[in-house]
Amino acid sequence: MIANQQQSVQYMVQQTIALRTNGKKLHNITRQVEAVLAQSGIRMGLCNVFLRHTSARLIIQENADPDVLADLETFFAKLIPEDSSQYRHISEGIDDMPSHIRSTLTKTSETIPIANGKLALGTWQGIFVWEHRNVGHTREVLIHITGC
């Protein structure tokens, strides 16, 4: 038996935002996602953020100390070197295959609960697009919000 069951009208909002990256780094998109949520009027539900690319990814990570992001980049650079002698797929540049490998270790989407009209992120959490290519690209982020 479910206690406190309430009937409510469910709403769905879907919006795509374009982000121009400027090379290999983490780009904080928390404010853009929060803006879509605020426009939706949804107070309780789920927010799914999906990145439509194979050489960049999404992560939820520390948003207070930039050294965390720098250390992540340094670690991944050591873990997945840009060395053309190690890869067959080099037609799109030396950074392309390493970007695909990095992408397999990170996520395409993140789902965040919504409470009281806000993303229920932790105090130090932010949503980031992690560009894995050396040059900038325009990345599409699909935000899908469901709730009441």
Residues 21-42: tens digit of each pLDDT: 999 999 999 999 999 999 999 9
What residues contact residue 91 under an 8 Å CB cut-off, 6+ apart?
none
79-133 pLDDT, tens digit each: 999 998 999 998 899 999 999 999 999 999 999 999 999 999 999 999 999 999 9
Cβ pair 141, 129 in contact under 8 A: yes
Higher pLDDT, 7 or 116: 116
Query: Please, what's the largest Cα pairwise distance for the chain?
Result: 61
Taking only the tens place, the pLDDT of each residue in 38-82 is: 999 999 999 999 999 999 999 999 999 999 999 999 999 999 999
| Radius of gyration of the chain, Cα coordinates, nearest whole angstrom | 18
**All domains in the chain, ordered by first residue:** 11-147 (2.60.120.460)
